[in-house]
Structure formats: structure tokens, C-alpha cells
Amino acid sequence: VLTFFSPSGYEMRVNYQHADNIYYLPLDTRKNAERFINAVNPRLAIFVKYDFWFNYLNILSARKIPFIFISSVFHSRHFLFRWWAIKLRRILQNAEVIFVQDQKSEVLLSKYQFNTLIAGDNRIDRVIQLQSELKEYVFLNGPKIKNKIMIFGSIWPNDVSIFAPWLNQSTNPYFIILAPHDISQGMRKKITSHIGKEYKLLSECHDQTQPEDGIMVDTIGDLAHLYQYGHIAYIGGGFGKGIHSILEPVAAGLPVIFGPNYHRFQEAKELIHLGAAISIKSSHEFKEAMEFFSNEDHYRAAKQGIASFLSHHQGATLKVVQYLANRKYIS
């Protein structure tokens, strides 16, 4: 049984063939948690990263149903270590194991008697695997496509206001792919109004389509496949609650640019350190970031940083699977 809380995750995987059942996870109330656990009757529950659903975890713990966490990462100011989270901490101490992404997280959790193992980030294995399953978009190889493609992924209007001045300059050498995080018609209109021009919709493109300046993605599930055609990617969310996933463009070998709200994301910090990502706070800094990655030496170094990052972090899924197999949860 595979569950999601967010519509974006559910809609991406609603037809996932390796799950027997796919549902939205009911809201985390005691009554909902009891009903759901009674109905599913799990042998093991696996939670991802920070899915600390108090009532679900409390009931699993009380019934001695094993549960684990994967791809978790923690810092000293995490809410879990606040005085008011002591009840949740006590429940999480009953986790069979918490697979963490790095040694800092392991050291921190060990102070609170958590059972931890370092595995890395399971998402990286998935985005690497995706590179061998990519869809082809024939029209993006057409004669009217400019040599380099700039992809703006998972963007919001406050992202657009940052890069619109660069986008509208007459010397812009890139073919543009705009992918709103919310693909509704209303959101697409907002983004178009910020830019001041319309782009052909991806859903209207076919093999013989020859868009000249760019396209706007209005479909679910295509963005991850489109990154293969990109040269550089800007990822949205950094001027809001936090950046959206940068792992898909990185797995495709693209240096990434994003806004200032990235500090909860370990991969973003590592990629900045490796010279493969740049965080920006203004339109001027966005322009500077584009100029930086337009330098061949800087671009080559960024690609090398990406290769190093992916090589260092892959393999987390195998570690988790081996753990589950050794304990007879899977065969």
C-alpha cells in the first residue's frame, strides 16, 4: 500500500504499477489513524524524511507494529529537539531504524537514543534510474530550436518576477521551457502576465511542431523528462516556503539556480559547495548566475561537481532493501 498526503505526489504516482493500492493518507487524527491502520493491518510502515504523523506513529508504536524512516536529515534547530516535542521524540525512539542521509544527522540523533543507520538519499537512486527511462520530445530537436535550452522548473509568480527582466532582454540566446508548479489555467495566466508574452503549450506540441522561442508545460509528469534537453535549470519555490526538487535536473547534468530559501535541503547546500548550484536573491544576481554558468570553464566544473555528487550519494535504496530483506520483511 502506497500513500501520499500531497496532490502533487499522488497525481504523479496514482498509476504506479508496483503498488497494489495507492491512496491519499487520511488526515492525521486519532480516529482516522485507527481506521486506516485497522483497514491496512501493516506488517511494517515506512515513512519518508519528515513524515512525523503523530497519531499514526503513536498507534503503530502502541500496537508494536514496526516502522522505519528513510532519507531523513536533521539539524540542531529541528523542531523535533524542542522541549514541546518530547512526546513525539519518545514515540520516534521506538522506530526500528531511522535511515539518515549524513553523519551529522546520525551523531545528532544518537544523543537522543534513536536507532540510526547512514544510507543516503533514496531519491537520488530514483532520479538516476529515470535517466534510462526518458521520453523523447522530437520537436525539441527541430531546426528552429536554439542551441541551448533554459528550463524554469516548478516556478511561481514570485520566481518569474526575478528572472523576467533577463528573459525579456533582446539578446537572450536560449530557447525557454517554463514549467509552473501549479499548471492550472489561472496560474499559467499569472505567469504569462508577469512575462508579457505567451508560449506554446506542451500539450499542443507534436513531432512536427516548431516553436521558436519556447514552450510552457501544462501537463503532469513531463518536466522530469524535459530536463534531458536543458543546459541550465532554474528551480522555483526559493522565494516562498522552500525550493522544489533540484535532484531531477541535477541527475540530467544541469547546473541549477534557485532562490534564498534552500537551507532545509542538504543537497542544495552540497551542490553550492561543489560549484554546481547558485542561490540568488534578486534579478541582478540571477543575471550574474547565468553569466557564471555561461563561462565554459565554470560550466565544465559544475558538471564535474554534479558527477561527484551523484556518485557519492547513490546506493541508498540498495542499503534499505538489504536491511528489509535481512529482517524478512521482503524476499
Q: Which domain CATH number covers 245?
A: 3.40.50.2000
With a CB cutoff of 8 Å and minimum separation 6, the contacts of 46 are 67, 68, 69, 70
Select the more confidently predicted residue: 76 or 163.
163
**Separation between Cα atoms, residue 12 and residue 24, nearest integer Å:** 12
Helix (H) or strand (E) holding 61: helix 54-62
**Is position 303 within any domain?**
yes
What pLDDT, on a 0 to 100 scale, did the predictor assign at position 305? 98
Do residue 234 and residue 270 come from a single domain? yes
The stretch 82-107 carries a mean pLDDT of 95
Among the ranges given (7-16, 74-83, 228-237, 245-254), the one the predictor scored with the smallest mean pLDDT: 7-16
What pLDDT, on a 0 to 100 scale, did the predictor assign at position 13? 87
Show the cell assigned to 23.
Answer: 491512496
Do residue 28 and residue 165 come from a single domain? no
245-263 tens-digit pLDDT: 999 999 999 999 999 999 9
Do residue 201 and residue 281 come from a single domain? yes
Instruction: Decide: 163 and 286 in contact? Cβ < 8 Å.
Output: yes
**Is position 126 within any domain?**
no
Among the ranges given (5-19, 155-169, 273-287, 289-303), the one the predictor scored with the smallest mean pLDDT: 5-19
Q: What are phi and psi of 160, to 5 degrees?
A: -60, -40
Q: Which of 155, 152, 150, 151 is nearest to 236 (CA)?
A: 155
**Is position 93 within any domain?**
yes
**Is position 84 within any domain?**
yes
The stretch 290-303 carries a mean pLDDT of 97
Do residue 99 and residue 146 come from a single domain? no
| pLDDT surpassing 80 at residue 3 | yes
**Is position 331 within any domain?**
no
Do residue 305 and residue 320 come from a single domain? no
**What distance, in Å, lies between the first and last C-alpha atoms of the chain?**
17
Q: Which of 140, 146, 125, 128 is nearest to 319 (CA)?
A: 125
106-161 tens-digit pLDDT: 999 999 999 999 998 999 999 999 999 999 999 998 766 767 999 999 999 999 99
8-57 tens-digit pLDDT: 789 888 889 999 999 999 999 999 999 999 999 999 999 999 899 999 99
Q: Count, in order, helices (H) and strands (E) of the chain.
A: 14, 13
Q: Residue 42 is part of a domain; what is its CATH number?
A: 3.40.50.11720
Domain total in the chain:
2
**Separation between Cα atoms, residue 307 and residue 302, nearest integer Å:** 9
What pLDDT, on a 0 to 100 scale, did the predictor assign at position 9? 85
Do residue 164 and residue 206 come from a single domain? yes
C-alpha dihedral, 95 to 98 to 103 to 108, nearest 10°: -30
What pLDDT, on a 0 to 100 scale, did the predictor assign at position 11? 86
**Is position 322 within any domain?**
yes
| pLDDT surpassing 80 at residue 171 | no
Band (169; pLDDT cuts 50, 70, 90):
confident
Instruction: Decide: 119 and 138 in contact? Cβ < 8 Å.
Output: no
What pLDDT, on a 0 to 100 scale, did the predictor assign at position 144? 67
Do residue 78 and residue 201 come from a single domain? no
Structural domain boundaries, residue 230: 139-309
Length of the chain: 331
Instruction: Decide: 225 and 127 in contact? Cβ < 8 Å.
Output: no
pTM of the entire predicted model:
0.84
Amino acid (one-letter) located at 41 = N
Do residue 191 and residue 103 come from a single domain? no
195-218 tens-digit pLDDT: 988 899 999 998 888 888 899 999
**Is position 15 within any domain?**
yes
Band (219; pLDDT cuts 50, 70, 90):
very high
For cell 536543458, the residue is 230
Instruction: Decide: 155 and 179 in contact? Cβ < 8 Å.
Output: yes
The stretch 280-307 carries a mean pLDDT of 98
Q: Are strands 214-216 and 174-180 parallel, antiparallel or unpaired?
A: parallel
